[in-house]
Chains A and B, each alone.
Chain A
Amino acid sequence: MLAIEVKNLYKNYYSTKSGNFAGIGRPDLTEDTNPNSSAIYPDLSGGVGGISFSVNRGEIFGIIGPDGAGKTTLFRILTTLILANSGTASVDGFNVVTDYKEIRKRVGYMPGKFSLYQDLTVEENLNFFATVFKTTIEENYELVKDIYQQIEPFKNRRAGKLSGGMKQKLALSCALIHKPSILFLDEPTTGVDPVSRKEFWGMLKKLKEKGITILVSTPYMDEASLCDRIALIQGGQFLKIDTPKNIISQYENKLWAVQSDTMYKLLMDLRANELTKNCFAFGDKHHVSIANKQITLENLKELIEKLGHKNVLIREIEPSIEDCFMQLSQS
């Protein structure tokens, strides 16, 4: 049995904040009833339709994309908090519409926004969530131990007084205390520094080893490699679903990392060149995608030096998920 199965799921609503289309899948504009005619729609070139995917048991599945891509909408449908316009979804074998009570018993959900009780202490929060699910901290302590022990010295502190990192650990402990079979983590690492992000992914790996299925969303492309499979999402659409390795191997063009003494000019020069499919700054290098596979390192070097660049360094590289995302979102 699949942990999560989603078929042709479509949700169309208008963000109360922006008045724009938000959601997942492609809207049918002929049925558009939005009074705000200036609303901005995602690209509709692919026609109307919902999204489909499935998550295997014991898998870490990453939903990767920028703000406004539809990540939270998807999480809210799967955790039975909102209803889709059309399509079906099941979680742990239960239908998100008809069996929502069963699903709520079986999933742990950590929303993007800190949603614990700020005026309860660390221990009171954990105890509260254990009680709601008719269990005790003692019963499932083994599962949360590694994470909860890091904040246990502060167990009498109110949750509102915790630092961001500690809040994150408490929220994860509370989402786990009823021993869920599937964990939904909506942007758990957003705004978190790179060191704490690494630590957090270390915790997820340990939970996976304990057999918990994890659906996790993130805007950080570098976290993709830590997932078993990922879906790249933008504008409510999946650009690709696969293992990070397969997505990288399907990158269409040859990719080169290029450096010179004048990096900004190099970026402009490379973009202006007709051989270039696209060119983006990547840290201290530029990544140039070139469709013509006949072009060699020497060809490229000659071409760049001719444009007046000094100390030119070129290397053929394997694309990162971020390279893939940019190429897919442009095509």
Chain B
Amino acid sequence: MLYAIEPELKDRKMNNIIQQNSNIVITAENLTKKFGHFTAVDNISFEVERGEIFGFLGANGAGKTTAMRMLSGLSIPTSGKGIVAGYDIETQTELVKKNIGYMSQKFSLYDDLKVWENIELFGGIYGMKDKEIKVKTDELMKVLNFENERDKLVGSLPLGFKQKLAFSVSIFHNPQVVFLDEPTGGVDPITRRQFWELIYDATSRGITVFVTTHYMDEAEYCNRVSIMVDGKIEALDSPKDLKEQFNAASMDEVFQQLARRSTRQAD
């Protein structure tokens, strides 16, 4: 139904109405990105529903990051179309950015700012009012049991704390979608699981989660999973159905079967 949006339709209100009536939060239609002769993302199409945890898997170099950059308004597609949170990823990149959250293992928070300063900074960037930031910060500190850490520098927190805080900050402005790029790399197994509990909690509040990971057990926690091979989406379904289709006992087996088809000399 979102395909019906004409490119020239730029009326935000209209878009918002369509969005609110729709259960689809991300639409990619024949999305393609070429760098010279190299096709990083090759004609991918899929939809993600509101409140879904969508796992975006693929080997290194399969094109995940490029696809994610397009969906978050950071890179313009060579061809094809995408609608994220109701906005066109080619013509409304700033509106896309305002309505999504983003967190990666590599960059999330400023180490040399205090916990509350990081929250205020990101809340402010997303245009939240001071009062709202203050009220929500109090709430968040309670939920995370972080009240004693509020005035500490983020750099002084253990990695597990940092990651939980980074995720909470990425959804602080209540975006429709949050993009998580390998959010759990390197953390200990218990913290990794606590992190996923935060993800479940976010989806229960209607936030859609789009996540990449190299941990195949985490792929099982997703409602649906897509697997990219050489720029194309080679499989997309619930983990249960994928395991049946590939006659595999685990998502790791599914992944191994698919990723071995790669002919791309990438990393």
How far, in angstroms, from A264 to B220 measured CA to CA in the complex? 13
Are A194 and B266 in contact, CB atoms less than 8 angstroms apart? no
Are A18 and B111 in contact, CB atoms less than 8 angstroms apart? yes
Are A193 and B186 in contact, CB atoms less than 8 angstroms apart? no
Are A322 and B189 in contact, CB atoms less than 8 angstroms apart? yes
**B156 beta carbon closer than 8 Å to chain A:** yes
**A88 beta carbon closer than 8 Å to chain B:** no
Are B266 and A19 in contact, CB atoms less than 8 angstroms apart? no
Q: Provided the pairs A281-B196, A281-B221 are in contact, do residues A330 and B190 lie with their beta carbons within 8 angstroms?
A: yes
Give residues of chain A (276-331) contacting chain B, Cβ–Cβ below 8 Å.
280-284, 322, 325-326, 329-330
Give residues of chain A (144-167) contacting chain B, Cβ–Cβ below 8 Å.
162-167
Are B189 and A38 in contact, CB atoms less than 8 angstroms apart? no
**B182 beta carbon closer than 8 Å to chain A:** yes
Are B190 and A280 in contact, CB atoms less than 8 angstroms apart? yes
Are B61 and A165 in contact, CB atoms less than 8 angstroms apart? yes
- Chain A residues contacting B155 (CB-CB under 8 Å) are 17-19
Are B214 and A192 in contact, CB atoms less than 8 angstroms apart? yes
Are B156 and A18 in contact, CB atoms less than 8 angstroms apart? yes
Are A195 and B214 in contact, CB atoms less than 8 angstroms apart? no
| Nearest CB of B to A34, in Å | 12
Pick from B18-26, B69-77, B95-103, B250-258 the stretch touching chain A: B250-258
Give residues of chain A (127-179) contacting chain B, Cβ–Cβ below 8 Å.
162-168
Are B182 and A191 in contact, CB atoms less than 8 angstroms apart? yes
**A225 beta carbon closer than 8 Å to chain B:** no
How far, in angstroms, from A191 to B184 measured CA to CA in the complex? 10
- Chain A residues contacting B205 (CB-CB under 8 Å) are none
- Chain B residues contacting A36 (CB-CB under 8 Å) are 156
Question: Looking at A40, A195, A282, which has the most chain B CB atoms within 10 Å of its CB?
Answer: A195
How far, in angstroms, from A168 to B186 measured CA to CA in the complex? 18
| Nearest CB of B to A42, in Å | 10
- Chain B residues contacting A20 (CB-CB under 8 Å) are 156, 158
How far, in angstroms, from A166 to B191 measured CA to CA in the complex? 31
Q: Provided the pairs A38-B152, A165-B61, A166-B267 are in contact, do residues A219 and B190 lie with their beta carbons within 8 angstroms?
A: no
- Chain B residues contacting A66 (CB-CB under 8 Å) are 159, 186-189, 191
**A203 beta carbon closer than 8 Å to chain B:** no
Are B251 and A283 in contact, CB atoms less than 8 angstroms apart? yes
**A68 beta carbon closer than 8 Å to chain B:** yes
**B12 beta carbon closer than 8 Å to chain A:** no
- Chain A residues contacting B251 (CB-CB under 8 Å) are 283
Are B260 and A195 in contact, CB atoms less than 8 angstroms apart? yes
Q: Mark B131-167, 1 if CB is under 8 A from A, else 0.
A: 0000000000000000000001101111100000000
**A6 beta carbon closer than 8 Å to chain B:** no
Are A163 and B189 in contact, CB atoms less than 8 angstroms apart? no
- Chain B residues contacting A273 (CB-CB under 8 Å) are none
Question: Looking at B60, B159, B182, B188, which has the most chain A CB atoms within 10 Å of its CB?
Answer: B188
Q: A166 — nearest CB in chain B belongs to which residue?
A: B267
- Chain A residues contacting B152 (CB-CB under 8 Å) are 38
**A82 beta carbon closer than 8 Å to chain B:** no
Are B59 and A196 in contact, CB atoms less than 8 angstroms apart? yes
> Pick the contact of A196 from B60, B111, B189, B221 — CB < 8 Å?
B60
Q: Mark A32-53, 1 if CB is under 8 A from B, else 0.
A: 0000101110000000000000
> Pick the contact of B185 from A190, A198, A280 — CB < 8 Å?
A190
Q: Mark A211-222, 1 if CB is under 8 A from B, else 0.
A: 000000001010
Are A191 and B214 in contact, CB atoms less than 8 angstroms apart? yes
How far, in angstroms, from A325 to B187 measured CA to CA in the complex? 13
- Chain A residues contacting B34 (CB-CB under 8 Å) are none
Q: A153 — nearest CB in chain B belongs to which residue?
A: B265
Q: Provided the pairs A194-B214, A281-B221 are in contact, do residues A165 and B188 lie with their beta carbons within 8 angstroms?
A: no
Given contacts A18-B111, A193-B60, A281-B221, 16 further A-B contacts (CB under 8 A): A36-B156, A66-B159, A67-B186, A67-B187, A68-B158, A68-B159, A164-B267, A166-B267, A168-B267, A193-B58, A194-B216, A194-B252, A194-B259, A198-B256, A221-B189, A283-B251
Interface residues of B (CB under 8 A from A): 58-61, 111, 152-153, 155-159, 182, 185-191, 193, 196, 200, 214, 216-217, 219-221, 239-240, 250-252, 255-256, 259-260, 262, 265-267
13 A-B pairs (CB sep. < 8 Å)? A39-B156, A66-B186, A66-B191, A67-B187, A163-B60, A165-B266, A166-B265, A191-B185, A192-B60, A193-B58, A195-B256, A264-B200, A283-B251
Across the A-B interface, the 7 shortest Cβ-Cβ residue pairs: A163-B267, A164-B267, A66-B188, A283-B220, A165-B267, A67-B186, A283-B217
